[in-house]
Amino acid sequence: MARLGVITNPRSQKNKGGLDRFAKVLAEAPETRHVVLGAITEIPEILADFARQEIDVVAVAGGDGTVQAVLTELFGTRPYEKPPRLAVVPRGMTNMIAADVGLRRRGLTRLLQTRDAGELDRATVERRILRLENARDRKPQYGMFFGGAAIYRAILACRNQVHPYQIKADAAAAVTLAGLLGGWLLRGGRRSAEAEAKNGAAVFSGDRIEAAFDNLPPQDLFSLVVLATTLDRLILGSRPFWNGSQGHLRFTSIAYPPERILRYAWRLLYGREDRSLPDSSYMSRKAGRVSLTMNCPFTLDGELLEPEAEKPVILTAADQARFLRI
Which sequence spans correspond to the domains of the chain? 4-128, 145-300
pLDDT tens-digit readout, 238-297: 899 998 778 999 999 999 988 988 899 899 989 988 899 999 999 999 999 999 999 999
**Angle CA(257)–CA(260)–CA(265) in degrees, nearest 5?**
105
3 state SS of 196: helix
CA–CA separation, 25 and 23 (whole Å): 5
CA–CA separation, 293 and 307 (whole Å): 9
Question: What phi, psi does 75 have (nearest 5°)?
Answer: -105, -10
What average pLDDT does the structure give for the chain? 87
H/E element, 33 = strand 32-36
pLDDT of the residue at 185: 52
pLDDT tens-digit readout, 123-162: 999 999 999 999 999 999 999 999 998 888 877 776 665 5
CA–CA separation, 250 and 183 (whole Å): 29
43-52 vs 64-72: helix axis angle to the nearest 10?
60
Residues in the chain: 326
pLDDT of the residue at 176: 46
pLDDT of the residue at 53: 96
- pLDDT of 192 over the 70 cut: no
Question: What is the pLDDT confidence band of residue 175, given thresholds at 50, 70 and 90?
Answer: very low
What is the pTM (predicted TM-score) of this model?
0.89
Cβ contacts of 282 within 8 Å, gap of 6 or more: 252, 253, 254, 255, 258, 259, 264, 268, 275
Question: What is the pLDDT confidence band of residue 178, given thresholds at 50, 70 and 90?
Answer: low
Cβ contacts of 104 within 8 Å, gap of 6 or more: 110, 326
- pLDDT of 172 over the 70 cut: no
pLDDT of the residue at 246: 86
Please name the fold of domain 145-300.
Tumour Suppressor Smad4 (2.60.200)
pLDDT of the residue at 169: 42
Please name the fold of domain 4-128.
Rossmann fold (3.40.50)
Mean pLDDT of 72-99: 94
CA–CA separation, 35 and 37 (whole Å): 6
